[in-house]
Amino acid sequence: MDTHDSVSIMFQLKKVMKLMHKRHVNNLDVGKLSHSQWLIVRNLMEKEKRTIGELSNALMVTNATISGHINKLVKKSIVKRIRSEDDRRIVYVEIEKDFAEKLKGEHHEMRRSFDDLFSDLTKEQQKKILEGLTILEEVLVGGKDDEVN
């Protein structure tokens, strides 16, 4: 594969990810969230609370970048900061309960929207997409046990 093909794959993947994000966030009545803010929220949905350092490691960005996004999410009442009771120097970030309930309520609607989107595809088209994504996942993982669930 030449460099041009690799770059084309990368740009196509980026375009698809942005479109999926846009469709996903637009189907949720959560206001405007940037892609990075949504990644933080998704990460916090997987694990109840995390430190800034844990989030920055998981998303591969600096602590300062995460802190800036967290500040904006706090202002929108999407997340909150909580000091550890054991060590007051440690600050955790977690999703606000009201926002978490809102997400749960809208999850079904979002899933229905994606079901509608993919319902126009033939079984063969769906199979090709899954095969392509599986190949991409295998390439990205490189045969190692660092899969993303």
In contact, 92 and 82? CB cutoff 8 Å: yes
Tell me the domains of the chain and their CATH numbers.
19-141 (1.10.10.10)
pTM: 0.61
List the pLDDT tens digit at each of the 149 positions of the chain.
566 788 898 899 889 888 877 776 665 655 678 878 988 998 998 888 999 999 999 999 999 999 999 999 999 999 999 999 999 999 999 999 988 888 777 767 777 877 888 888 999 999 999 999 899 888 888 855 554 44
Return phi, psi of residue 20, to 5°.
Answer: -65, -45
* pLDDT given for residue 149 in this prediction: 44
